[in-house]
Amino acid sequence: MKQQTLLIKMLLALAPVAIGSLAFSEEKKEFVPSTEPVFNTAQAKPNIHMVLDDSGSMKSRDILDRPGGRYILRTKALDDAVQSLLYKYRDKAYLGITLIYQYRNESGLIQLPLDDYSKMSEYDFKWDVIDRISRLLERSPGNTPIRPAVYDTLKMFRGMPVSARGGMNANGTIQYESYRARYYEGRQLETPLRYRCQQNHMIVMTDGQPYGDTSVGIAEVDRHLFGRFVNSLNTNTDVISNGVILSSSVELGRFGSTLGYIAANTDLRDAFKPKLLGLDQWRREVWGIKDKDDAGKDWHDEFSTKMPITVHSVSLYIKPTADVYTELTSASKGMNLGFEKNKGTAQDLLLAFDTIFSAIIKSTSSTKAMNDKANADILFGAPKRGDLSSMGAIRYDTTYNFRQRFGTIRAMVPYISDWTEDASGKKIPQVDAAGKPKQATLELWNTDQTVKSNQGRYVTLGGLLSDDRSIRAMNEIYKKAYPDSGNNYDRTYVTWLTDHEVTTHAHNLRGRLTPIGSVTNSDIKLANKDELYIDITPKKMGNELRENLVQWLLFKAKNQPVNHLVVGDNNGFINFINAERGLARGYRAGERNTAYFPKMLASRIDDIAKVNRSATLVMEGRTNFVDAKVGANQYATIGLTSMGSGGKGLVGYSIFEGTTNNGKLFTATSTQIKPLFEIINEGPTEFRTKGFENLGYTYSGFEFFNKTSPLNGVRVGQAVAVFGNGFGAKKSSLYFIDAHTGEKIREIVLNPQGGGASTPSMLVRAEGAGQMVDRIYVGDYSGTLYRVDFNGKGLKDSDVTVTALFKAPEKGFGQSAISIKPLLLKNDITGKVTVYFGTGMAASKELDRGEKSLVEHSIYAVVDSNQTSAASTAKASAMSSNAASVLLPVLTQKDLSPGNVEYANKANVNYTDTGTHQLEIKAPANVANKDGWYLRLIADGEKSGERVIQEPKYDARHKAITFSTWGVHEREGGKPIEGLDDPCLSDAAFGKSLAIDVKTGGASNKIGLSNKGKTNNAPGGLTGDELYAAPEGNSSTKIDDIKKIDSKVAEDLIVAVGEENSTHATDPEGYAAYCEGDLTGGLECDLYDRSLLNQKVLDPKRIGIQKIFSF
C-alpha cells in the first residue's frame, strides 16, 4: 500500500465548557452546531510499530487460551492478539509490523510498513494485512535475532535503508559487489513521519533470549557507538546509501542498551525523510525528500516538538523486566509488560499489548469534575482501599479524546503525604522547597479497568436493548432515517453497543476503543442515595409535602441500592456508574450499573458507529435531578439529560421509585434505572415529539418544582421541569413538562425572534401542601435577560407576564448571547433580586473564533427592582399568540455603573507562554447604583474576545461571586494551510478566575486561587466548601436545613448510609480545600484549616495536584 498523505482534523473541547462549533449562514442567521468541538489542542495520530517474534519456539503449545481453558500454540496466542489490535486501532494510529526472522523482497523484515490502514476495504484489509500476517506468524521458522530486527526498525524510522534479508545469521544474507566493493543489499522505504509533533513508538515482543544478533548495514551516525566491533566487507572502501554503510556489520549482543539509547536520543525532526515520487520511463523509482510535514510546515518550526522513539516490551515466556527488555526500554522510559512461563494466558498477552496501545493513544484533556461530598475534606496519609475512614472527598473527573472516540471516568483521592504534630497532637502539613504542602493523589479506579463488556443492564425506552421489541421499534426509526441503507438495525448494532471488546462487525461498523465514548461537554453528576434533590425549607415548600419528602429521603438512603455517577458520552450512552465509596450490596465502585441508549438515536446510529464516519457529538448536554411526589402516593428520584450540541433532544429516567401506604410506610417499586420518556425535534418527521416544534439544540439545564393539587380527596403530586428551548430555534421560549411522564404542560414564548433560550434560574415559593414557581430569570441567544412573573398564581398564560429586563450591547450576530445560567441573590428585606451573568459563547468557529469573535464582553450584576413598562412587559398569552412584538429592555448597559478587569501593574503577557498573572479589579465607581454594575473584560484589550461561558458561583463564606472567563489567542490566526488543518497547532487559551465582592463590586481576595489570569491555559471553575451555583434555587436541601427541620432525621440519615459513606459527614477540625481545574488537566488547590475558618481566613497553603496523562 502506497503511503498516503492523510491529515486528520483534531479538535478537542475546552474543559469543562466547550459547547460546539457551528456552521453559520449569514443570510439565514441561524445557529446550527457542527458535530465537533471548537477548541484545538495539538495531537497527531501516533506511529506504533510492533517487532514480533516469529522464531521456532513460538510453536510451543504451552499457553492457556484463558484461565482454566485449553493449551494453544504461542503463535496462535500472538496471532489472535495482533488481529485484535490491528482491527481495534487501525483508525486510531498508524500501524506497522516487523518480524524478527522472515523478510519480504521489497521491505526486508518490515512486513507491514507504518501506514493508515483504516481506509482499506474490509476485504483488502483482511486479505492483505490480517491473513498475510497470520500466515507468517503461523509459519514461525527461525531463531531469535531480536536486536537486528529492532535496529532495522530504528533505521526505518530514521529514513535509512533496511537490510533486504534481516540479520546476517538469520537468512544467509547475500553480499553484492559493485566497483570491486562488496556490500549487503538494502531496501529503501518511504518515511513514516507525517507531522512535526508526532509520537513514535516501538513495541518489542519475544518469548525468549536473543540468538543470532549480527546486524548488517550500520548507520553512519551510529558507527561511533559500536566502535571496534564494527566489521567491514572491504578494507578501504565503504559503500554508503542514504546514511547507511551497507558494507558493514556488527554483533549486537552487547549493544542492547545502545539501541535503547539511539531510540531515546533520536529526534526524528532531523531524520532523513525519503519520499517516493513515482517511476521514470524505465520503471525505475524516483525519490525525493519530504522537506515539509503533511501540514506544509517546516519540521523545526516553533510549534514542533521533539520526536524520539519510545520503546516498550511484551514478554511471553521470560521475566518482563529481564535485561533483554529493560536495555531497550529504560532510556526512553517505555513499559515492560507480559508474563513469565505459566504465569499468564493468551488473554493476558492481549491485555499487555492493549495496555501499551491505550496509554500511547490517550493524550487526553480533562472535562468536568465533582466531589462526592458536600465538603472537600483532605486527610493525612495515603488512603487505604477498603478503609473508607482513611479517605477524604473523592473527586470524580473525566478524560477523553474526541477524534479517537474514547472517554474515561476516574475516582481520585488527594491526600497530605507528610506532616508533623504540634504539642497538642494536631497534625501540621509539611511543605516542600516551594512552600507547598507535600501531597499525592491516589487513583481508586478508572472505567477502563472497571467496566467490562456486557456489564450491567443495557436499556432503551421501552425495555432492554437486546429485546426483540426494542430492536423492531428502533429498526422502524432506522429505516426512515436511512432509507438507502442496505441493512436493518439488527443484533449487529446491539452487539456493537454492548460489547466493546468485539473488534469486527458486519454493516461496516467500527471497532470501539474503550467501554465509554468521548465525554466532551457532558455534565458529570452524582445521584446519591442520601441527598434530597429539592429544597424543602418552609419558605419553599408546604408542610405536608415537606414531611413526606423527609420520610422519602430516609427511605431512599436505606433502600436505594447504590449511588450513581451519571455521564453522557458521544457513543450515545447515558452511563450510570456505581459510585459507592466501597463495596456495598454487591455493587462494586466504578463498574457500570446501567447504560441507557435512547431509542431516538436509532436515527443517528450509522453516523455514530460506521467506520467511515467522523467522530460526532451526541449526548453531551446537561443533567439535573429532582426528588418529588409524582402521584397520589408515588415518589421518585428523576433525572433529565439533554444533548447539547449533539442534537435537539432530551430524555427522562427514574433512578429510584417508591410508594406509600396511607402516607406512612414506603415500598420500593423500582430500584433500577428506568427510561421514562424521550423528546426529539429532529430526524424523521413522524417520530418527532408533537408540541416541541420550537425545541432547538438542547444546551439548557433543568429547573424543577413539585406542585400538588387535590383529586378525589387526596393531594396528587406533579414534578414540573422547566428548561429553555435551546439555541438554533427562531423563538426564545421556556418549556414546562411533567418530569415523570414528559407530557408538555406549557410553553411560554419570551421573544419571537430571540434565537433560543438557555438555562433558567427559578425562585419558588410554598403553596398549599407543595410548591409553585414564583419567578424565573433566563437569558437567550440575542443577549436579552428576561424576567417571567407568575404573580402569585398558576401557570396559565393569562396569569403570567414576561419582561425584557436587560439587553447586552449588540456586537454582531451571536456575540451578545447569554449562554449560562444566571445566578440570583435575593435581598430578604427589600425583596430585590440581583442577577449575575456574563455574555459570550464557545460555540462557533465562524463566530467565536477569528475576527468576528474579537469583541468586548462583560460581567453583569443587574438589580431587579420590579421595573416594567408597556414596551418591555407583556402577558404570556400575548407573546404566544404573536399579539406582542419583540419587547424592549427595561435596562441596558448605559444604566449600569462600569468597572473593569486589568492585569496588575498593567503587565503585558505572552499568550503562548504558560503562566499565571495577578489581576486587579477596578470596582464600579458607583456600586450603589440602583440598577447594578458591570465589569468590562478588557485586561487583554477591548477586542480580545474574552467571554463568560461557565456558570458563576456564590461564595457564601466570603460573600462573593466567582466567575471564570475564557478566550483564545489563535496561533497563526487559526487559518488553515492550503485547506488543511494542522494538528500541531494548538490554540493558546487564556482566561481568568475572578472573585467579586457583592457589596463593593471590587475584588474579594479571601481565596488565594481567585483573581488570577492564566495564559496558554484557562481555568475550569472553582469548587470547595460553601460554593453554590444556585443559592436561591430549588436543587437540593443542605444538611443544616434538614437539622433545622428535624435534627433526628439528620442524624438518622448519616447512620443509614454510614458516616464514611455519607455525603454530608465532615471533619470540622480537619483541612478543607478550594480547588480549581484547568484546560491542561491540572488541579490546583488552596488548603485551609477548617477549624479556624470561622475565626480568620488563613493565608492559603497552596497545594498542586497534577493529573497523570500518557503522551
Is residue 945 domain-shared with residue 1076, that is, in the same domain? yes
Has residue 177 been placed in a domain?
no
Has residue 617 been placed in a domain?
yes
Range(s) of the domain holding residue 55: 44-158+191-207+257-361
The residue that leads in pLDDT, 887 or 439, is 887
pLDDT in tens, 706-758: 999 988 888 899 999 999 999 999 999 999 999 999 999 999 999 999 999 99
Average pLDDT of the residues in 259-279? 96
pLDDT in tens, 117-154: 987 888 899 999 999 999 999 999 988 899 999 999 99
Q: Which of 637, 636, 639 is nearest to 619 (CA)?
A: 639
Side chain identity at residue 227, one-letter code: G
Q: What percent of the chain has pLDDT over 70?
A: 90
Has residue 169 been placed in a domain?
no
Q: Residue 585 CB: number of other CB atoms within 10 A? A: 7
Pair 623, 607: CB distance under 8 Å:
no
Sign of CA dihedral 71, 75, 79, 82: positive
Q: Does the pLDDT at position 391 exceed 90?
A: no
Q: Does the pLDDT at position 37 exceed 80?
A: no
Q: Which of 814, 975, 991, 830 is nearest to 911 (CA)?
A: 991
Has residue 352 been placed in a domain?
yes
Confidence of residue 287 (pLDDT cuts 50, 70, 90): very high
Q: Does the pLDDT at position 1 exceed 60?
A: no
CA distances from 25 to 33, 683, 844 (A): 11, 21, 12
Is residue 702 domain-shared with residue 834, that is, in the same domain? yes
pLDDT in tens, 997-1041: 998 889 998 888 899 999 988 887 788 888 888 899 999 999 889
Q: Which residues, 6 or more positions from 1064, have their beta carbon under 8 angstroms from its beta carbon? A: 373, 374, 530, 531, 1039, 1050, 1053, 1054
| pLDDT score recorded for residue 817 | 93
| pLDDT score recorded for residue 700 | 96
Q: Does the pLDDT at position 943 exceed 50?
A: yes
Is residue 481 domain-shared with residue 607, that is, in the same domain? yes
Average pLDDT of the residues in 339-350? 90
The residue that leads in pLDDT, 457 or 828, is 457
Q: Which of 652, 628, 799, 776 is nearest to 708 (CA)?
A: 628
Confidence of residue 388 (pLDDT cuts 50, 70, 90): low
Q: Residue 167 CB: number of other CB atoms within 10 A? A: 30
- Rounded-to-integer distance, Cα 944 and Cα 938, Å: 7
Count the domains in the chain. Answer: 2
Q: Residue 384 CB: number of other CB atoms within 10 A? A: 11
Average pLDDT of the residues in 1065-1073? 77
Q: Are β-strands 1027-1028 and 1012-1015 bridged in parallel, bridged antiparallel, or unpaired?
A: unpaired
Sign of CA dihedral 1036, 1039, 1043, 1044: negative
Q: Does the pLDDT at position 606 exceed 50?
A: yes
- Residue 1026, classed as helix, strand or coil, is coil
| pLDDT score recorded for residue 468 | 98
Is residue 81 domain-shared with residue 202, that is, in the same domain? yes
Of 169-183, 549-563, 613-627, 969-983, where does mean pLDDT reach its minimum? 969-983
Tally of residues, the chain: 1111
| pLDDT score recorded for residue 1108 | 24
| pLDDT score recorded for residue 362 | 55
Q: Residue 392 CB: number of other CB atoms within 10 A? A: 25
Q: What is the DSSP track for 982-1022?
A: -TT---EEEEEEEEEETTTSSB--SSTTSSEEEESS-EEEE
- Rounded-to-integer distance, Cα 752 and Cα 735, Å: 14
The residue that leads in pLDDT, 1003 or 1095, is 1003
Average pLDDT of the residues in 576-582? 83
Q: Does the pLDDT at position 918 exceed 90?
A: yes
Q: Are β-strands 457-460 and 873-875 bridged in parallel, bridged antiparallel, or unpaired?
A: unpaired
Confidence of residue 174 (pLDDT cuts 50, 70, 90): low
| pLDDT score recorded for residue 117 | 92
- Rounded-to-integer distance, Cα 675 and Cα 646, Å: 19
Average pLDDT of the residues in 773-788? 97
Is residue 726 domain-shared with residue 833, that is, in the same domain? yes
Q: Does the pLDDT at position 446 exceed 80?
A: yes
Is residue 907 domain-shared with residue 1029, that is, in the same domain? yes
Average pLDDT of the residues in 928-934? 88
- Rounded-to-integer distance, Cα 108 and Cα 113, Å: 10
Confidence of residue 786 (pLDDT cuts 50, 70, 90): very high
Q: Strand 744-751's sheet: what is its strand order?
A: 703-711, 714-724, 732-738, 744-751
Q: Is 805 left (phi over 0), alpha (psi -120 to 50) or beta?
A: alpha
Sign of CA dihedral 534, 535, 538, 541: negative
Has residue 146 been placed in a domain?
yes
Is residue 489 domain-shared with residue 344, that is, in the same domain? no
Has residue 552 been placed in a domain?
yes
Report cis status (omega within 30 of 0) of the bond before 1068.
no
Q: The domain that contains 59 carries what CATH number?
A: 3.40.50.410
Pick the last residue of a domain from 314, 338, 361. Answer: 361
Pair 477, 602: CB distance under 8 Å:
yes
Has residue 666 been placed in a domain?
yes
Q: Which residues, 6 or more positions from 278, have their beta carbon under 8 angstroms from its beta carbon? A: 285, 286
| Highest-scoring range by mean pLDDT, 276-280, 341-345, 521-525, 563-567 | 563-567
CB burial string 1067-1082: b at 16+ within 10 A, e below: eeebbbbbbbbbbbbe
Pick the last residue of a domain from 346, 361, 376. Answer: 361
The residue that leads in pLDDT, 434 or 216, is 216
The residue that leads in pLDDT, 877 or 181, is 877
| pLDDT score recorded for residue 260 | 97
Average pLDDT of the residues in 399-407? 77
Is residue 542 domain-shared with residue 690, that is, in the same domain? yes
Is residue 468 domain-shared with residue 347, that is, in the same domain? no
Confidence of residue 387 (pLDDT cuts 50, 70, 90): low
Q: Does the pLDDT at position 613 exceed 90?
A: no
Has residue 877 been placed in a domain?
no
| pLDDT score recorded for residue 1110 | 23
Q: Does the pLDDT at position 115 exceed 50?
A: yes
Q: Does the pLDDT at position 41 exceed 70?
A: no
Confidence of residue 29 (pLDDT cuts 50, 70, 90): low
| pLDDT score recorded for residue 252 | 93
User: Running DSSP on this structure, what letter comes out for residue 125?
Assistant: I
pLDDT in tens, 48-104: 999 999 999 999 999 999 888 999 999 999 999 999 999 888 878 999 999 999 999
Confidence of residue 410 (pLDDT cuts 50, 70, 90): confident
Q: Which of 412, 409, 697, 700 is nearest to 567 (CA)?
A: 409
| pLDDT score recorded for residue 603 | 97
Is residue 336 domain-shared with residue 478, that is, in the same domain? no
Is residue 658 domain-shared with residue 764, that is, in the same domain? yes
- Rounded-to-integer distance, Cα 860 and Cα 892, Å: 11
- Cell numbers linked to 545: 409535602
Pick the last residue of a domain from 304, 334, 361. Answer: 361
Q: Does the pLDDT at position 168 exceed 70?
A: no
Q: What percent of the chain has pLDDT over 90?
A: 58
- Rounded-to-integer distance, Cα 445 and Cα 397, Å: 11
Q: Is 839 left (phi over 0), alpha (psi -120 to 50) or beta?
A: beta
| pLDDT score recorded for residue 434 | 64
